[in-house]
A and B are shown apart, each in its own frame.
Chain A
Amino acid sequence: MARWSYPRPSSSEITPRGVWLSRRRLLAGATLGMAVGTGPRALAEALHTRPGPFQAAEKPTPLEDVTHYNNFYEFGLDKTDPSTRSGRFHARPWTVSVEGLVAHPRVWDIDALIAAMPIEERLYRMRCVEAWSMVIPWDGFPLASLLALAEPLGNARYVAFESVVRPAEMPGQTGGLDSLAWPYVEGLRLDEAMHPLTLLAVGLYGETLPNQNGAPVRLVVPWKYGFKGIKSITRIRLVEQMPPTTWNQMNAAEYGFFANVNPDVDHPRWSQASERVIGAGGFFGGGRRKTLMFNGYGAQVAGLYGTMNLRRFY
């Protein structure tokens, strides 16, 4: 795969993998008893991941914050609901269906899919539409790799994604005022879906994706607002028409289909020019930083949009 010239983090800014692994090993050792001969390497390869080509230049958000500050309305409206209310969710067994306008439709078993794909780590910025941001080391594979196996037909122009509906395991799906229409659906233009930055994540921080982060497989599109990253995917369908997307249907004036991170196009209720940095610690957190066009991935993705009016197609 081509390596893109993207600013890599200076090594001093990142907690070395071995360090946080050994921390975790110490924690595990405290409860389980230290297994003789089990080095950090064994845990590091829990997902057989390796560093991928795209890396953000920032320090990763602490694992604790990445897994305890989530928007996942299937489990509830509150940021802490996904971590506290996802215990009954079963991410195995799981299948992902690739269907629609493809030469080779297939229903994948999730573990077969993970075994078939080269899993790599991508340290991506994540910008939420609510004007906060994280930096997350995802583990996954490019969506393009999966779509290539399915061979999209010539008339396929969009990719439609569908999430799971399990009210018995997902308390946010049992109705009520704050309920969205289920299943959660998302979509990408085919060229966006085929872009090498677009990732299907099956893990983070080198370990299997926790329920609250969208287990067992979720979409990560780092130049778009976080809500485009549909979680717990069950169906990937190649289609000809632009598919409906959940937040756009909920409130079209506030959430567009494209949802590219754009500091110049505000949300009607707040500015998108800057973002709160999550998990910075200290006195009332780390303050704000300027939001970058395409979340800093403009060099890679601006070409996808050419002269398109990004204010109109927000």
Chain B
Amino acid sequence: MPRLTGAGRTRTLLPWRGETMVLMAVGLLPAALYFWYGAHDRLGPDPVNVFERWLGLWAVRFLLAALLVTPLRVVSGISLLRYRRMLGLLAFWYALMHVSVYVALDQQGNLAVLWHDITRRPFLMLGFAAFLLLLPLALTSNNWSIRRLGRRWGRLHRLVYGVAVLVAVHFLLAFKTYNATSVSYAAALMAMVLWRGVSLVRARIGRAGA
């Protein structure tokens, strides 16, 4: 485990028990807003593309936020651990909506095109692989699974770093050129992966030296 330099105190943003449910609902607002816009012809001339990319962007944002929880605690002592599951689940919900819009609205359920896409295009294979890896993580993001899986739960959830790498490349490929948006999100995701890698190595060296 990485050394905890901060107090590690969990702070709550809202004073009542349904807090995470409320924050989850708030987190889904960007999707709800754009769905409403799209349904009312207010997403511009290419609405499906805008909606699809919007959902993908928010999936990346929540994934990044979930990955930031531990580094933030180590560096600043502020612990948002209480919200990490919610952030991870929001990343999953956005990924699910992103994939659903791609399948139902963009490709209009054309199975031949979908099969061709996810078997031959690295861009889509990477994205789809990331989504598949998120599935077991989302399914085990509950107290029962944590109790049930014990130490294996932690190892299973290291898959999120694989997801981060896949998503970073998929995100870069979603644009015709490298640009400030794609490069900064990809770099931030990779920084989280590197940080985790360095922490693991350090912990191992620490154990070996003890």
When distances are taken between beta carbons in the complex, the residues of chain A under 8 Å from B105 are 284
Say yes or no: is B116 at the interface (Cβ < 8 Å to chain A). yes
Q: Contacts A268-B121, A288-B108 given; indicate if A180 touches B41 (C-beta within 8 A).
A: no
Report B168 CB to chain A, min CB distance, Å.
15
What per-residue 1/0 map shows which CB atoms of A74-97 lie under 8 Å from chain B? 000101000000000000000000
Stretch at the interface among A1-9, A142-150, A272-280: A272-280
Bound state CA distance, A65 and B46, in angstroms? 9
In the complex the two chains form, is A271's CB within 8 Å of B46's CB?
no
In the complex the two chains form, is B45's CB within 8 Å of A250's CB?
no
Report A73 CB to chain B, min CB distance, Å.
8
Report B138 CB to chain A, min CB distance, Å.
26
In the complex the two chains form, is B47's CB within 8 Å of A285's CB?
yes
Bound state CA distance, A62 and B116, in angstroms? 33
When distances are taken between beta carbons in the complex, the residues of chain B under 8 Å from A77 are 175-177, 179
Q: Contacts A177-B179, A284-B105 given; indicate if A276 touches B48 (C-beta within 8 A).
A: yes
When distances are taken between beta carbons in the complex, the residues of chain A under 8 Å from B43 are 284
In the complex the two chains form, is A178's CB within 8 Å of B45's CB?
no
In the complex the two chains form, is A79's CB within 8 Å of B46's CB?
yes
Report B108 CB to chain A, min CB distance, Å.
6
Interface size class of A (residues with CB under 8 A): 20 to 34
Q: Contacts A77-B175, A269-B121 given; indicate if A69 touches B41 (C-beta within 8 A).
A: no
In the complex the two chains form, is B46's CB within 8 Å of A278's CB?
yes
Query: Which residues of A (260-312) have their CB < 8 Å from a CB of B?
Result: 268-271, 273-274, 276, 278-279, 281-285, 287-288
Bound state CA distance, A8 and B31, in angstroms? 41
In the complex the two chains form, is A279's CB within 8 Å of B45's CB?
yes
When distances are taken between beta carbons in the complex, the residues of chain A under 8 Å from B183 are 177
In the complex the two chains form, is B45's CB within 8 Å of A278's CB?
yes
In the complex the two chains form, is B45's CB within 8 Å of A180's CB?
no
Say yes or no: is A176 at the interface (Cβ < 8 Å to chain B). yes
Interface size class of B (residues with CB under 8 A): 20 to 34
Report A283 CB to chain B, min CB distance, Å.
5
Of B39, B41, B107, the most chain A CB neighbours within 10 A belong to B41
In the complex the two chains form, is B49's CB within 8 Å of A132's CB?
yes
Say yes or no: is A68 at the interface (Cβ < 8 Å to chain B). yes
**Which A residue sits closest to B113, measured CB to CB?**
A271
**Which B residue sits closest to A178, measured CB to CB?**
B179
When distances are taken between beta carbons in the complex, the residues of chain B under 8 Å from A180 are 177
Say yes or no: is B165 at the interface (Cβ < 8 Å to chain A). no
Report A273 CB to chain B, min CB distance, Å.
7
* Contacting residue for B178 out of A61, A130, A177, A278, CB 8 A: A177
What per-residue 1/0 map shows which CB atoms of A46-77 lie under 8 Å from chain B? 00000000000000011001001100010001
Bound state CA distance, A68 and B43, in angstroms? 12
Bound state CA distance, A3 and B98, in angstroms? 47
Query: Which residues of A (70-126) have their CB < 8 Å from a CB of B?
Result: 73, 77, 79
Q: Contacts A271-B113, A284-B38 given; indicate if A132 touches B46 (C-beta within 8 A).
A: yes
In the complex the two chains form, is A69's CB within 8 Å of B177's CB?
no
What per-residue 1/0 map shows which CB atoms of A117-141 lie under 8 Å from chain B? 0000000000000101000000000
In the complex the two chains form, is A270's CB within 8 Å of B38's CB?
no
**Which B residue sits closest to A131, measured CB to CB?**
B49
When distances are taken between beta carbons in the complex, the residues of chain B under 8 Å from A269 are 121-124, 173
When distances are taken between beta carbons in the complex, the residues of chain A under 8 Å from B124 are 269
Of A180, A250, A268, the most chain B CB neighbours within 10 A belong to A268
When distances are taken between beta carbons in the complex, the residues of chain B under 8 Å from A268 are 121-123
Report B122 CB to chain A, min CB distance, Å.
8
In the complex the two chains form, is B116's CB within 8 Å of A65's CB?
no
When distances are taken between beta carbons in the complex, the residues of chain B under 8 Å from A270 are 117, 121, 123
A interface residues with partner B (beta carbon < 8 Å): 61-62, 65, 68-69, 73, 77, 79, 130, 132, 176-180, 250, 268-271, 273-274, 276, 278-279, 281-285, 287-288
B interface residues with partner A (beta carbon < 8 Å): 38-39, 41, 43-49, 51, 105-108, 113, 116-117, 121-124, 173, 175-180, 183
12 contacting pairs across A/B (C-beta < 8 A): A73-B177, A79-B44, A79-B46, A177-B179, A178-B175, A250-B177, A270-B117, A271-B116, A274-B113, A278-B45, A283-B38, A284-B43
Known: A77-B175, A132-B49, A178-B179. 18 other contacts (CB 8 A): A65-B45, A69-B45, A69-B46, A176-B179, A176-B180, A178-B177, A179-B177, A180-B177, A269-B122, A273-B113, A278-B46, A281-B41, A283-B39, A283-B41, A284-B47, A284-B105, A285-B45, A288-B107
